[in-house]
Each structure stands twice: as C-alpha cells, then as structure tokens.
Amino acid sequence: MEFKTFVFYFLSAVLILAGLRVITSRNPVHAALYLVLAFVSASGVWMLLQAEFLALALILVYVGAVMVLFLFVVMMLDINLDRLREAFWSYLPLGSIIALMMVFEMGLVLGGNYLGLLESNVPQTSATDSNVQAVGRLMFTEYVYPFELASVILLVGIVAAVALTQREKRKTKLVDPSQQVFVKAKDRVRVLQMPAEKRD
Amino acid sequence: MVAALQGLLQGLFGAAYPLVWTLLKIVLIIAPLLLCVAYLTFWERKVIGWMQVRIGPNRVGPWGLIQPIADGLKLLLKEVVIPTGSDKSVFLLAPMFAFAPALAAWAVVPFNDTLVLANVNASLLYIMSITSIGVYGIILSGWSSNSKYAFLGGMRSAAQMISYEVSMGLALVVVLMVSNSLNLGDIVKSQGQGYFADHGFGLLSWNWLSLLPMFIIYLVSIVAETNRAPFDLAEGESEIVGFHVEYSGMAFAVFFLAEYANMILVSTLASIMFLGGWLSPVGFLPDGLFWLLLKISFVLFIFLWIRATFPRYRYDQIMRLGWKVFIPLCLIWLVVVGCWMMSPLNIWK
C-alpha cells in the first residue's frame, strides 16, 4: 500500500469515528471536541487532494474561530441530559425523515459519477500555480457576483444579530478613555486643611 | 558532512529513510527551541532585574546560568494535582493543546535562503491556522478544572486571544498584499528589493518602514496575543484567577513553556514579516541566519522591556483597544495600501 493511501484511510477512519462520537457522546463539550477532531481530519483529507487553501481555511475558520465560540456557548449552557432524552421517541419519526433525506442527497452527490449527473471536470492543478492564487482568481472573476452576494448576506446576519441582542438601550458605566486621561488628582480628591488639635 | 550523514542513514534505514531524515530535522529545530525557551525565562528575570536595579537570579551555577534547569527539575518533581470533579482527560489534554501549536508552526519557518523544513506555498496561512488552535488550551483548561475561577479566567483569556488574532491577521494580510505571496521565504526575499536595498541600506527597504502603522499594531497585538504584560490578565497578581489556577507541577510548567514558545514564535514571525528575516541591514555585510537570530532576540527584548515598563491594562480597555482601535485602523490601512499599490506611486513592484 502506498503511503498516501495509508494516510487517506487513516484520516478517513479518524473522521468517521469522530463524527460518530459527535452524535453519541453524552457530554456536549466532548461532542464539540470530537467535531474539532473531525474538522482537522477532513482538512487532512483535503490536503491530500492538494487543496491546501481550503484545508487551511477550514482549520482557520472552523477550528480556530467557529468552534471556539461554539465551545463558549456550550460550556455556559446548563444542559440537563435527562430532559433532552425524554422526548426522544416523539421526535424520532421527524428526525429519521430528515436523516433519510440527507442520505439521499449525499448519495446523489457522491454517486454523481456513476449516475452520470455531472460531467466531472475536476480542475487540474499545476505545480507552479499556487492553490490560493487559483481560488482567488476564480473568486474575483468568474464568481464575483455570488461571492459579493454571500458577503452581503453575511453582513445582514451580523447586523441582525446585533439588532436582536441590543433591543433596548442598556445603562452602562462605560467611561470614555479620552476623557479619562485628562482627570487630575484635584477632580477626585479634595485635601482639607484642618488645624491641629492639642491634647489636654 | 551532511551528505555523508545522509548516505549513512540511507544505508541504515532503507525505505524508512525519508521519515528518519525528517524526524532528525524536526529534532534539530525543536531541541534548540526548547533550550531557548528555558533561557528566555532566565533572560527575562535578569533583564527585569537590571531594569529594576536588582541583580536577578545569581545563585545556581556561574552567574545563575543553571537556574532554568533547576526550575524545570523542581516543577518535574512536584505532584500534578488533578481536582476532584474535573474532567480528567480534557484536563490533561489542555496543556498539550496549548504547547503543540507553538512547536508545529516551526515546520514552515525559513531560517535562510534554503534552510526550511517544509517550503510550502501557503506557509503564512499554515502558521495562522496552526496558531489559532492554541486558544483551545486556554478554554479547555478553564472548563475542565471544574472551578468557577478557572472558568472565568479562561473565558477572559480566550476572548482576548481571539480579539487580537483578528488584528494580527489583518496586519499580516497587508504584508502578504505588498509581497504578493503567502510563502514566508518569498516574503523575506521581497523585502530585499527596492530603492534603499539597491543603495546598500536594506534596513530601510524592509516592511517595518513602509508599513509602519501595521508594524506597531502587530507588535502590540502579539504582546496581547501571548498574554504578556501589560495585557497579562491571565496571571495578573491583582486578579489572580487565571485559567491555570488548578494546575500544578509539570502540567503548569507546560502552560508556562507554551507561553514562552509562543513568544519566540511570534517574535520570529515579526522578524520575518517586518524586519527582513535573514537579510542583512547594510549592503557590505553578508545575509545569514545570524541576522534572523539577532532580530528575534531584539523583538524578545522588546517584550521584556515592555513588561518592566508599563502598568497593566484593565480588561475592558484591552477589548476596546483590540476591537475599536486596532481592527478599524487595520481595515483602513488595508484599503490605503491597496489604493497605493494601484497608483503609479507603487513602491512594491
């Protein structure tokens, strides 16, 4: 077996195991950590495909930022596992329908070559042209409108999140630092002159 | 000599030779790095001692030179207390998460024209993504300790690191814009060109001058990113609830080592991105590894100098500086440099 094949199977095995643990582990923080492991192994698989920009961006964005914020939230939640498990059977039919849909969709994507749904045109990578340049060039020429559209949607998301969390003006004790630095001792402390008293 | 050694190893290991050779190179990078980490702690105590008109450690060995070894031995021999009710596996995993990225990032750091472990095209992106993993050490140690103090300390440090990572990243984006490459080696080489470099003053051609605002933002951001004074709320004496309150012995020492290894790493990055890496500052002296080491030492000295000079920031002021000052400044400068590069006055051709 070639070394590359071994690496691929190793990473895939880790990826699948980690993915399974995400949905089976009882502790939500552990589940989030397994998701991190899954992301890192997926990034390794992409690296094998010589898609180094996507692989590194996956780690930078998902592992370095999204999952950290996710952990922030999960750690602060008070999760009662028994209450979550109570409604398991009543939600099962809906959940299984969604799962079947996802399996079907994945089958379409993965089996596309056999079903003849897509003419496979995997972009040929040249050794001289770097991956990042290729992605950047495509993104800002051919796909510039979808790209800008995605950024506007993200911006709307940011504005919506801010608007939802800041409905009413809260009272804060924030002090403007540019005014703070002009404070003098005289403004804060008043020194009184008191005549010394004599003891009898 | 290197060729002879390569031949010997090839004969000895046969098919496994590339693996052994790479491992050997990794050891050759990591071992001096760990020694530097140990002596950086010593150098810090000495420098701050001198700045405060003290002597610093001088008991163990000649001029106190064995002090870091003694400290390490002491921490090795201490018991690692694992709190009851803590998540044991995550508790022990957290220090590794903090330390490993600081070592893994060295894979792509170029030491001179040819001396680099892995010369990959997207090395800057690699460094940014690997160092972004370091925050897990903090957040996991805070959570797994099962202590509210550690948890709050971890939250604060993690929020601080994430905030300053953004301004650090934006400063680096400007650098990669002007050098037109994500490869660290190419970034250094692009700094060796220009009007001043052609006239024998390479010092003035480096990015620190043409991107001075970004250089200053980067310097301040790396201090905040590594949780060092004056942004060292993680271990501030006046607010001692850091993320590692529950750690003892070697587990604590690994966090300590991670902090110093990160300091050396970001100093190296600053030297490569802004101070011309291995390039010589003047035309009549040859380039070489020596210059890179000198620049790293200089940036590290700035770290210590700042620590001995400035009082600690308040937490809300740290966040304000990161989000409301540095990030807008970086974004504006990004546009300014972009326009500059498109104009006829472009100096980075």
* Per-residue H/E/C for A16-75: HHHHHHHHHCCCHHHHHHHHHHHHHHHHHHHHHCCCHHHHHHHHHHHHHHHHHHHHHHHH
Measured CA to CA, the distance from residue B175 to residue A198 in angstroms comes to: 73
What is the mean pLDDT of the segment spanning A60-70?
90
Question: How distant is the Cα of A72 from the closest Cα of chain B, in angstroms?
Answer: 8
Interface touch B126/A56, C-beta < 8 Å: yes
A60: nearest CB among B87, B129, B158? B129
Phi, then psi, of B180 in degrees rounded to 5: 60, 30
Separation between Cα atoms, residue A130 and residue B252, nearest integer Å? 41
CB-CB under 8 Å, B122 with A60: no
- Asked, as a colleague might, if the bond just before B230 is cis with ω within 30 of 0, I would say yes
Give the residues of chain B that fall short of pLDDT 50: none
CA pair distance B302, B297, nearest whole angstrom:
9
CA gap B170, B165 in Å, rounded: 9
Q: State the nearest Cα–Cα gap between B182 and chain A, in angstroms.
A: 8
Cβ contacts from A onto B, under 8 A: 67
> Can you tell me the distance from the alpha carbon of A154 to that of A184, in angstroms, rounded to the nearest whole number?
45
Residues B20, B9: Cα–Cα separation, whole Å? 8
Question: Which residues make Cβ contacts (< 8 Å) with residue B44, sequence separation at least 6?
Answer: B304, B307
Compute φ and ψ for A21, nearest 5 degrees. Answer: -65, -30
Q: How far is B335 from chain A (nearest CA, A)?
A: 17
- How far apart, in whole angstroms, are the C-alpha atoms of residue B201 and residue B204? 6
Q: What is the Cα–Cα distance from A53 to A132, expressed in whole angstroms?
A: 6
| Contacting residues for B310 by C-beta, under 8 A, at least 6 apart | B229, B230
Contact between chains at B125 and A57 (C-beta distance less than 8 A) = yes
Please give the C-alpha separations between residue A113 and each of A40, A118, A138, in angstroms, as whole numbers: 27, 6, 24
Torsion sign, CA atoms A24, A25, A31, A34: negative
Q: Is the four-CA dihedral B205, B209, B211, B216 of positive or negative sign?
A: positive
Q: Are A63 and B130 within 8 A, CB to CB?
A: no
The number of C-alpha atoms within 13 Å of B330 and in the hemisphere containing its C-beta is: 27
Tell me whether residues B155 and A72 touch, CB distance under 8 A. Answer: yes
Most A CBs within 10 Å: which of B91, B96, B127, B136, as the mutation test of the A interface?
A: B136
Cα→Cα distances A41→A3, A14, A63, A70, Å = 16, 7, 11, 19
Q: Is the minimum CB–CB distance between A74 and chain B shorter than 8 Å?
A: no
Cβ–Cβ of A56/B143 closer than 8 Å? no
Residue of A nearest to B318 (CA): A177
* Radius of gyration (C-alpha) of chain A in whole angstroms: 28
Whether A53 sits inside 8 A of B125 (CB atoms) is yes
Residue carrying the six token digits 């995993």: B93
Place of tokens 């990578």: A125
**Residue B239: its pLDDT value, please?**
66
Interface check for A195 against chain B (CB to CB < 8 A): the answer is no
Query: In the structure encoding, which two tokens stand for residue B48, read together?
Result: 């701050």
Say what the pLDDT of residue B314 is: 83
The pLDDT of residue A46 is above 60: yes
pLDDT over threshold 80, residue A45:
yes
Whether residues A177 and B317 touch (CB distance < 8 A) is answered with: yes
| Chain centroid to CA B263 | 4
Tell me if chain B has a CB within 8 Å of the CB of A59: yes
Distance, in Å, from the CA atom of B124 to the CA atom of B109, rounded to the nearest integer, reads 9
Q: Which residues contact A11 (CB under 8 A, 6 or more apart)?
A: A41, A44, A45, A48
B87, closest residue in chain A (CA to CA)? A30
Across the interface, whether the CB atoms of B121 and A60 are under 8 A apart is answered no
Q: What is the pLDDT of residue A113?
A: 67
Q: With 80 as the cut, is the pLDDT of residue A123 above it?
A: no
B136/A132 CB distance under 8 A: no
A131 touching B (Cβ < 8 Å): yes
Per-residue pLDDT, averaged over A122-135, amounts to 68
Q: Is A68 on the interface with B (CB under 8 A)?
A: yes
**A174–B316: do the CB atoms touch at under 8 Å?**
yes
Supply the mean pLDDT for chain A.
85
Chain A interface mutation, best of B19, B88, B129, highest count of A Cβ atoms under 10 Å: B129
End-to-end CA distance of chain B: 40
Residue A7 Cα, gap to closest chain B Cα (Å):
14
By Cβ distance, the residue of A33, A57, A177 closest to B320 is A177
Chain A residues whose beta carbon lies within 8 Å of the beta carbon of residue B143: 29, 71, 75
Q: How far is CA A11 from the centre of its chain?
A: 21
CA distance B31 to chain A (A): 27
Contact residues, chain A, for B126 at CB < 8 Å: 56
Chain B, nearest residue to A130 by Cα: B121
Decide if A132 touches B, using CB distance below 8 A: yes
Q: For residue A126, what pLDDT band results from cuts at 50, 70 and 90?
A: low
ipTM of the complex: 0.88
Question: Cβ of B155 and A68 within 8 Å?
Answer: no
CB contact under 8 Å between B143 and A33, yes or no, is: no
Nearest to B144 by CA among B88, B183, B193: B88
Task: Please give the angle made by the CA atoms of A42, A43 and A45, to the nearest 5 degrees.
Answer: 65
The verdict on a CB contact (< 8 Å) between A29 and B90 is yes
The two tokens of residue B307 are 């620590």
Give me the DSSP letters along B288-302. -HHHHHHHHHHHHHH
d(CA A167, CA A146): 32
Q: CB distance from A63 to chain B under 8 Å?
A: yes
| Best A2, A60, A74, A179 residue to mutate vs chain B (most B CBs within 10 Å) | A60
**Positive or negative CA dihedral for B240, B243, B246, B250?**
negative
Q: Spell A108-118 as b/e; 16+ CB within 10 A means b.
A: eeeeeeeeeee
Considering only CA atoms, which of A147, A158, A123, A36 is closest in space to residue B129? A36
